[in-house]
Structure 1
């Protein structure tokens, strides 16, 4: 009980010591300089400027943290995986990736997140709110990070240039990730299969292939996906949206990678060659699929034990067990497990 009374007395003393009040919001502070710093949140005053990029901040500690984005200094290192961060708060949040702690849950779909900011961003996917708008073109985004990425599309916004190819970026960390394309550096590795990736989000998405976790669902057909970008591409099947158009023949596609594959038909380019037999292919995916013929690697169905040379074939086969038919005919109520079968069916309506 003595310990409780000591803390209560301390708290009362601290409350009594807060004699400096904000005239705008009535917040109280124990020191006049704390109040002075707080007032900048109302006035917008940012007296601390970065000598490198001219960004300004309301507090000197915020400027100090920002400067690390230029110098690359990351003084707070993780004891588990050696990842390093510019602030102690970022390190503490990172620690949850090891402990698995996700204390913030979505009341709509049940997904859990490590931080309140991630939860707030996620909720906007349900509400459709996009509070971050581009002053140049009016485009709006769910997260501030997405707006920053978008700003690269406008001239005069790119300060960090790649010495190898000349590409430029708005932020230093974007340049660092880009340079890995040239160096081949892939610092994020999967502990289960050894695959490595340039970016941590790519590793996170990859890990869901092992865990089977598919938290993103299609409202139209209930198909589930391991990451939101794949769901977004899938939704175009239902909407019919094809935003990527070929400049040669006018064909349009739902995905940019489909357009790139198509464009190689015009050039007859086949840059991916098999080291075993010399066969060449338009895409790396086709080459990888071809290599299974040489390696003899098989993919097994965990339900019936059937084996397949290609993972895509196994994936189609699994639909015979699940009964999933994601491709529906708009003319009648028929649905199919494969897109090719739907196309064949559509001919009876023509």
Structure 2
């Protein structure tokens, strides 16, 4: 291999983000295999590749012994001393055995190694990039659907949206542009496998972080998220600045901010409630849009009894218990809801 060939390797290594030394070490290792394969050699050999000229030398490595049993691996002390008088028993002697036509084989082998290493490096770079983006949102284009899995083109890589991570009633067509949440990035022999979700609560949280500057700046904090994907969600927010209304910041002017998120989630209803350190007030907010008359909390067992006006009972519980279920998930409390007439003496 000539100097121009070596310069091309170095340039390619830099472009692909591969250390030149790593590349040359890999070529040397591959050349050892190529030498043994092409010259039927069982010798212990070392290949030296000159980093500047591209010259290649193959050396047979032999151990100095008193009596030679395997001439491919051993050399007598007497013969070793003919090479250099300083050799002693158990030293390793290197004798050059470079074949005349090894250059052509070397060039072909080097090319194969470089192609393989570049492919590995590119996969490694993609893996690093996306593994650093776990728990983040990515935008991609639906490519195709295979066995109910939706495959999404992310540009440099392909993501998998499994059936369990797809929203109820949502249809995915090739060419659709969608946002998904990266749940896991796995390293496989075929490159990184990126698993994404449309149902994860983290998707809703990150959408608000992207859409609401006050959340991004740390003024407003998302304390909790509860989702029934594609149907309804609740999000609890808190403001570190008493002059900033956390709910208003998330709703936006004329509801524009929350509407953008609702549209992205294909019409999923979103309740934004104000977080409170007082469990009773927090639970009352979490049951929004229902009005609450009384909240009685048991701190030890994290159970609460809630009383609502008779006409608000069905609203507080929600369709098939959805509102109460989401409120319980949001607050982390078990919630028992009764109407005023049912509660009787509690009021």
TM-score category of the 2 structures, normalised to the smaller one: under 0.3
Q: Which has the higher strand share?
A: 2
Q: TM-score normalized by structure 2?
A: 0.22
Q: Which has the larger radius of gyration?
A: 2
Greater relative contact order (CA < 8 Å, ≥ 6 in sequence)? 2
